[in-house]
């Protein structure tokens, strides 16, 4: 059973995107949505949560179209690093429990990736991720729903931290999967109004062996307001680390 589990995990790692065609046809389990996002083992037609839905505001849809068009238009222009690729977003199927023991099917069928655990469109985390071809930058278009309220009328700081960890962790996973968060430093500058759309931009600062140092900022879509700044450290881990109890 252990050998079978490891085989499936390596199969997931081989799904890392190498181009638009593969990205659209295979689930990028480690690079999409931080660690281990994949199509549900109980679903033949997994839902891609990063596609537009009726809850998206006009600004969210405008930015999605902007970056998606950049990706499509640049598909045949070579690998100059300047174009963007959308990452699909699937719910996680939780396959491993503590000690490498499988969860029961009853529990496993209810497992949800945290940011996708509320299925009501627009109620919580609405976002789509793009990465630049040279993998030096990752960008997220984020719209916060009413269930993420902290200060009256504004987004909870923990929800902002979750999105920063999601974006920077996805970025680190693109560079070297699998990874785990070692440190996350956040400075909150200005509150984010509920229902508004913001940009979360992640930039690779440096790499030192297994360590990836990444900086991140959350800003208004026109760049006029800085909401949050952060730095993150991610460490590459081995497959055996994931299976260890």
45-88 pLDDT, tens per residue?
678 899 999 999 999 999 999 998 887 655 555 455 578 999 98
In whole numbers, what is the pLDDT of the chain averaged over residues? 77
Q: Which two tokens stand for residue 152?
A: 């009256």
| Residues involved in catalysis | 165
pLDDT single digits (tens) 127-143 = 999 999 888 999 999 99
pTM of the predicted protein model: 0.76
Q: Decide if 130 contacts 67 (C-beta within 8 A).
A: yes
Q: Using CA atoms, how far apart are residues 99 and 105, in angstroms rounded to an integer?
A: 17
CATH number at residue 96: 3.10.129.10
Q: How many structural domains comprise the chain?
A: 1
Q: What is the 3-state secondary structure (H, E, C) of the chain?
A: CHHHHHHHHHHHHCCCCCCHHHHHHCCCCCCCCCCCCCCCCCCCCCCCCCCCCCCCCHHHHHHHHHHHHHHHHCCCCCCCCCCEEEECCCCCCCCCCHHHCCCCHHHHCCCCCHHHCCCCCCCCEEEEEEEECCCCEEEEEEEECHHHECCCCEECHHHHHHHHHHHHHHHHHHHCCCEEEEEEEEEECCCCECCCEEEEEEEEEEEECCEEEEEEEEEECCCCCEEEEEEEEEEECCHHHHHCC
Q: How far apart are CA 197 and CA 55, in angstroms?
A: 12
Q: Tell which residue, 202, 84, 198, has the closest CA to residue 137.
A: 202
CA distances from 18 to 15, 87, 100, 114, 192 (A): 9, 12, 30, 26, 35
**pLDDT exceeds 80 at position 99:** no
**177-213 confidence digits (pLDDT tens):** 788 999 999 999 999 999 999 999 999 999 999 999 9
Alpha carbon distance 101, 153 (integer Å): 43
19-28, 175-184, 215-224: segment of lowest average pLDDT? 19-28
Q: What confidence category does residue 240 fall into, taking pLDDT thresholds of 50, 70 and 90?
A: low
Give the integer Cα–Cα distance in Å for 125 and 128. Answer: 10
In sequence order, the 6+-apart residues with CB closer than 8 A to the CB of 60 are: 52, 126, 141, 143, 197
- Of 20 and 125, more confident: 125
Number of C-beta neighbours around residue 112 at 10 A? 14
pLDDT of residue 207: 93
**What range defines the domain where residue 194 resides?**
2-243
């Amino acid at each position: 059973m252990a050998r079978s589990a490891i085989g499936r995990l390596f199969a997931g790692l081989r799904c890392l995107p190498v181009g638009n065609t593969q990205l659209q046809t295979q689930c990028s389990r480690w690079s999409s949505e931080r660690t281990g996002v994949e199509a549900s083992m109980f679903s033949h037609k997994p839902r891609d949560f990063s596609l537009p839905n009726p809850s998206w505001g006009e600004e969210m849809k405008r930015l999605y179209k902007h970056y998606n068009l950049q990706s499509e238009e640049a598909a045949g222009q070579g690998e100059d690093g300047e174009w963007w690729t959308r990452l699909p977003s699937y719910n996680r199927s939780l396959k491993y429990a503590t000690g490498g023991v499988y969860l029961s099917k009853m529990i496993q069928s209810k497992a949800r990736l945290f940011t996708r655990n509320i299925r009501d469109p627009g109620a919580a985390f609405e976002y789509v991720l793009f990465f630049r071809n040279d993998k030096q930058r990752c960008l997220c278009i984020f719209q916060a729903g009413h269930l993420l309220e902290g200060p009256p009328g504004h987004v909870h700081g923990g929800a902002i931290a979750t999105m920063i960890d999601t974006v920077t962790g996805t970025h680190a996973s693109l560079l070297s999967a699998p990874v785990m968060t070692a440190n996350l430093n956040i400075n909150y500058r200005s509150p984010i109004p509920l229902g508004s759309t913001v940009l979360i931009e992640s930039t690779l600062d440096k790499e030192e062996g297994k360590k990836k140092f990444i900086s991140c900022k959350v800003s208004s879509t026109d760049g006029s307001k800085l909401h949050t700044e952060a730095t993150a450290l991610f460490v590459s881990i081995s497959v055996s680390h994931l299976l260890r109890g």
